[in-house]
């Protein structure tokens, strides 16, 4: 469970799963999700999967009725203690807005025992994967493998229009590389609160050669600090088409 404390140190490694403009990761074992994308650019993000695994391993795993249920991506809208605790660890009632791969969105509530050191992972605006039933009940997807989580996140973003089919191909089939942020120019804000920026990137290929590109992106506020000039970020791109890249950043907040 304490591994959550290491997440800031893991930023910049492979993330997996939903991708649009603001992301996470830190260790090739963890890959992906939670920023939102726009235009010809894609930004990958990651959920706190180490945290999710800890919940499943320490506190009993997935209720039977949720096993094999589809996965949605929940955004935390509120958190309260239920008054119950196990080994001095509180049970939380986590209010979520859940988005699904078929384009639906609905409010839901999950109850989960959470280690005191991991409370920061379930604060408002945090992103958590859930399994959901037709009646709207949900449970945190503590049993899901990383590829399943990544795929669910990608499909949710695709359904919402945050990810184009080509960006999905980059996310799933692109090669890993590093890029230096050459420039980051703010260009305003979208109605949904994302920051519009123009990024200049210098990408280093596997053979050590580089190519430059400039792309407009719409970033969640948490991602802007991760793409400042001079920073090195992880990217994915298709070798036969270097006109757009997916930028992998770390999940914040």
Q: What confidence tens digit (pLDDT) does each residue in 137-162 have?
A: 999 998 888 888 878 888 887 887 76
What pLDDT band is residue 101 in, cutting at 50, 70 and 90? very high
Q: Model's pTM, two decimal places? A: 0.66
pLDDT more than 90, % of the chain: 33
Task: Name every residue whose Cβ is closer than 8 Å to that of residue 91 and which is 6 or more positions away in sequence.
Answer: 81, 82, 83, 84, 85, 111, 112, 113, 114
Strands (E), the chain: 19-20, 24-25, 31-32, 42-44, 71-86, 89-99, 105-113, 127-132, 138-140, 175-189, 195-204, 210-219, 232-238, 241-248
What pLDDT band is residue 115 in, cutting at 50, 70 and 90? confident
Q: What confidence tens digit (pLDDT) does each residue in 185-236 have?
A: 988 887 766 778 899 999 999 899 999 999 887 776 777 888 899 999 888 9
Task: Name every residue whose Cβ is closer than 8 Å to that of residue 244 and which is 6 or more positions away in sequence.
Answer: 40, 41, 42, 166, 167, 170, 213, 215, 237
Q: pLDDT at position 30, please?
A: 29
């Amino acid at each position: 469970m304490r591994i959550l404390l290491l997440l800031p140190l893991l930023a910049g490694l492979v993330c997996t799963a939903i991708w649009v403009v603001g992301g996470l990761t830190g260790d090739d074992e963890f890959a992906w999700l939670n920023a939102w994308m726009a235009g010809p650019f894609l930004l990958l993000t990651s959920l706190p999967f180490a945290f999710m695994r800890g919940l499943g391993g320490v506190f009993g795993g997935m209720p039977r009725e949720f096993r094999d249920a589809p996965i949605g991506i929940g955004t935390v809208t509120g958190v309260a203690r239920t008054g119950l605790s196990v080994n001095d660890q509180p049970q939380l009632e986590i209010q979520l807005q859940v988005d699904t791969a078929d384009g639906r969105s609905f409010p839901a509530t999950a109850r989960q025992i959470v280690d005191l050191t991991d409370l920061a992972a379930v604060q408002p605006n945090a992103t958590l994967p859930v399994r959901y039933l037709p009646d709207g009940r949900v449970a945190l997807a503590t049993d899901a493998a990383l590829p399943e989580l990544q795929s669910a996140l990608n499909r949710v973003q695709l359904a919402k229009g945050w990810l184009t089919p080509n960006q999905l191909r980059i996310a799933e089939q692109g090669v890993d590389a590093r890029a230096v942020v050459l420039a980051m120019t703010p260009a305003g804000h979208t109605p949904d609160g994302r920051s519009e920026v123009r990024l200049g990137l210098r990408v280093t290929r596997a053979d050590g050669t580089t190519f430059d590109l400039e792309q407009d992106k719409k970033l969640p506020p948490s991602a802007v600090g991760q793409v400042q000039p001079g920073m090195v970020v992880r990217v994915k791109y298709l070798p036969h088409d270097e006109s757009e890249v997916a930028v992998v950043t770390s999940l914040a907040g």
